[in-house]
Amino acid sequence: MNSKQRVMTSVSHTEPDRVPLAYAATPEVTKRLEEFLGATDEEELLLALRIDFRQVQPVPKLHTYGDFFGDPLIEDLGGGRFRDIWGATFKRVNYDLGSYVEIEGNPLANVHDLAQLEGRAWPNARDVWDFRNIKSDALERGDYAIVYDGAVLFQFCQALMGIEPLLTDLHESPKIAQAVLQKVASYWTDFGVSLLEAADGTIDFFVINDDYGTQQGPLFNPAIWRTYIKPIIQKVIEAYKRFGVKIIFHSCGSVRLFIPDLIEMGIDVLDPVQVSAKDMVPRRLKEEFGSRLCFRGAVDTQRVLPRGSPNEVKEEVRTRIRELAPGGGYIATAVHNIQPDVPLQNIVAMYEAAREHGRYPIS
């Protein structure tokens, strides 16, 4: 099997030749791992690890200073601070092992009635992005599962409103939160439809990133989410699925209570299965939802990858494969992006173990 066949077989809940492999890490980790393995660039690194996915991205029409989950930062405010296409501000934070970008200013934090949203300029995806490269880029990677990873829906409303005003509005004035989400959803619908039209059937997976969980439970009341948020996001998913793509839904934390709804909405793959969070027990998730949902991730990044030995990492991988891989429906990788505190030997051990123990039939 080639990589595309392997991934699509597994996501269809049939056993391929081996468990498919995915990769996600901070830029600092990728650079160090390239040097460690003697790879000249990221593509050589992916080849060395035998990763089965490749990503494609449209080209921004605007001058940018990077992006925040597919959201271009278009204005340099100085001092490591930037403004995006929505008016939210971000700052670069440096720490001992690298840096990251975090939200700093929320332009809609003080919106208290719908009239304040009227007349506001909202970004248009077709003005921001050039999608003409997508099909040719995807065809160049034709033997791999092709994925676009970037859409952020409800979670991006946190950047616009701030998490406390957003969650408060959901309880006290849900029409404001709904109106903001409708604008975000409209942008991402237009983006996704434009991307998938340009791709002309060459994209296999579309990732939606929306964190709903904390370590101990849902970030907010699932009943409120079902009433005010789910219908809006479901329409976005339906727009994407008309193009035949599979949907990967990313949410960290304890999201067990949302899983039946995600399946109902048409989600194909749940990422990243944060095994350290409450109620995210892989064996139980597989037993209850494994015939309807594929799982991606599950290799612990809170304790095992950063603090375990290579042998402990290998045992973690073997356990996750035993729990999640039988019958297909599992893509092996770490829980979320690999961070700079993870020893490079542990990363290599994770992929070695996945290739060794992930061959079907699973013993």
Per-residue pLDDT tens digits for 23-75: 999 999 999 999 999 999 999 999 999 999 999 999 999 999 988 878 999 99
> Coil, strand or helix: which one is 306?
helix
Q: Is the model's pLDDT at 361 over the cut of 90?
A: yes
pLDDT for the residue numbered 119: 85
In the chain, the domains with their CATH numbers are 3-61+108-357 (3.20.20.210)
pLDDT for the residue numbered 166: 94
CB under 8 A, 24+ apart: contacts of 240-244: 240/192, 240/193, 240/196, 240/206, 241/266, 243/193, 243/196, 243/197, 243/199, 243/201, 243/203, 244/201
pLDDT for the residue numbered 210: 93
Tell me: the pLDDT tens digits for 196-250? 999 999 999 999 999 999 999 999 999 999 999 999 999 999 999 999 999 999 9
pLDDT for the residue numbered 186: 97
- What is the strand order of the sheet 330-334 is part of? 53-55, 145-152, 205-209, 246-250, 269-271, 294-299, 330-334
Interior angle at CA 185, CA 277 and CA 248, nearest 5:
45
- CB neighbour burial string for 210-227, b if at least 16 within 10 angstroms, e if fewer: bebbeeebbbbebebbee
Tell me: the pLDDT tens digits for 263-302? 999 999 999 999 999 999 999 999 999 999 999 999 999 9
Alpha-carbon torsion angle 224, 228, 231, 237, nearest 10: -90
> Coil, strand or helix: which one is 228?
helix
Token pair recorded at residue 151: 């859409």
Tell me: the pLDDT tens digits for 149-184? 989 999 999 999 999 999 999 999 899 999 999 999
Q: Is the model's pLDDT at 108 over the cut of 90?
A: yes
pLDDT for the residue numbered 333: 98
Among candidates 333, 315, 328, which has minimal Cα distance to 361? 328
pLDDT for the residue numbered 67: 87
Average pLDDT over every residue of 135-140: 98
Distance between CA 324 and CA 77 in Å, rounded?
46
Average pLDDT over every residue of 326-334: 98
pLDDT for the residue numbered 69: 79
Q: Is the model's pLDDT at 142 over the cut of 90?
A: no
pLDDT for the residue numbered 181: 96
pLDDT for the residue numbered 286: 98
Tell me: the pLDDT tens digits for 256-272? 999 999 999 999 999 99
Average pLDDT over every residue of 108-132: 94
CB under 8 A, 24+ apart: contacts of 183-186: 183/117, 183/122, 184/152, 184/153, 184/154, 184/156, 184/157, 184/160, 185/153, 185/232, 185/233, 185/235, 185/236, 186/122
